[in-house]
């Protein structure tokens, strides 16, 4: 297909989690939009790959009109969004849909509870990102690569410390049969899960 100019704007996307309580006004539209099995299949298909309504109709084996109806409801509920515009083979302009960039969480709590949960999820996502970066550094060191900021020091003590950390990571990886970076990431996730559970219990 010949591509048109992208229909999405250059505005920054809010990647913070969208938390909806069951008593929120938005909950009615979202739950209503997802009450149909066809709508859920459409959303699941879009999570695999962005698509236009015609492609979605083929993927979920339903009519184009039915897909357009459910896409409209999902878009109104904030579950999907238009990310691009393309031409069909007949020269017709078509919108390309994808799931919303913001993580969506529906919780059985009041509006005050959703505010605290939203802040906690934001901190948790940030912590997961930090653990992911640290895991890459551990894997990099275990592979024998020299970190850019470590190479500038040029001290023998720093080299010895790096070699020792690499040896420990390699020994642990050999014992578990997993890459050291993955081991570090899984361990970090375990700590975050324990912290999240402790926070939830204290909150109650």
Q: Which of 83, 106, 129 is the last residue of a domain?
A: 106
Alpha carbons 118 and 104: distance in angstroms, whole number? 10
Categorize the per-residue pLDDT at 148 as very low, low, confident or very high, splitting at 50, 70 and 90: low
Identify whether residues 127 and 149 lie together within a single domain.
yes
In-domain check, residue 6: no
In-domain check, residue 35: yes
- Diameter of the chain measured on Cα atoms: 70
Q: Is 79 helix (H, G, I), strand (E, B) or coil?
A: coil
Identify whether residues 120 and 165 lie together within a single domain.
yes
Q: Would you state the pLDDT for residue 2?
A: 39
Least confident window among 29-38, 131-140, 148-157, 181-190: 148-157
Task: Quote the tokens at residue 99.
Answer: 């799931």
Q: Is 164 helix (H, G, I), strand (E, B) or coil?
A: helix
Alpha carbons 108 and 53: distance in angstroms, whole number? 33
Identify whether residues 97 and 124 lie together within a single domain.
no
Identify whether residues 95 and 118 lie together within a single domain.
no
Q: What is the pLDDT of residues 17-50, one digit of tens each?
A: 666 666 666 677 778 888 899 999 999 999 889 9
Categorize the per-residue pLDDT at 5 as very low, low, confident or very high, splitting at 50, 70 and 90: very low
Residue 115 or residue 38, greater confidence:
38
Q: Which domain holds residue 53?
A: 18-106
Report the alpha-carbon angle 193-195-197, nearest 5.
70
Q: Is 12 helix (H, G, I), strand (E, B) or coil?
A: coil
pTM score, whole prediction: 0.48
Alpha carbons 99 and 53: distance in angstroms, whole number? 13
In-domain check, residue 123: yes
Would the pLDDT of 185 be above 60? yes
Q: Would you state the pLDDT for residue 137?
A: 81
What's the structural domain count of the chain?
Answer: 2
Q: By the 8 A CB rule, do 173 and 179 touch?
A: yes
Tell me the residue ranges of DSSP E strands in the chain: 18-21, 80-87, 93-99, 104-107
Residue 68 or residue 119, greater confidence:
68
- Work out the number of other CB atoms within 10 angstroms of the CB of residue 23: 13
Q: Which of 57, 77, 106 is the last residue of a domain?
A: 106
Angle between helices 64-76 and 37-48 (to 10 degrees): 80
Q: What percent of the chain has pLDDT over 70?
A: 54
Residue 103 or residue 198, greater confidence:
198
């Amino acid at each position: 297909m010949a591509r048109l100019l992208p229909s999405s704007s250059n505005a920054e996307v809010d990647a913070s989690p969208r938390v909806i309580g069951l008593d929120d006004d938005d909950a009615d539209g979202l739950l209503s939009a997802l009450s149909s099995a066809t709508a859920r299949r459409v959303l699941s298909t879009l999570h695999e790959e962005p698509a236009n309504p015609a492609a979605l109709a083929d993927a979920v084996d339903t009519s184009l009109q039915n897909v357009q109806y459910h896409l409209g409801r999902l878009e109104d509920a904030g579950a999907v969004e238009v990310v691009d515009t393309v031409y069909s083979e007949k020269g017709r302009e078509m919108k390309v849909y994808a799931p919303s960039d913001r993580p969506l969480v529906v919780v059985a709590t009041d509006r005050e509870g959703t505010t605290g949960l939203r802040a906690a999820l934001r901190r948790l996502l940030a912590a997961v990102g930090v653990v992911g970066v640290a895991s890459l550094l551990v894997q990099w060191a275990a592979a024998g690569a020299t970190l850019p900021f470590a190479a500038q020091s040029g001290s023998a003590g720093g080299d010895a410390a790096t070699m020792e950390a690499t040896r420990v990571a390699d020994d642990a990886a050999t014992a578990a049969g997993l890459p050291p970076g993955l081991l570090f990431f899984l361990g970090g996730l375990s700590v975050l899960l324990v912290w999240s559970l402790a926070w939830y219990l204290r909150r109650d």
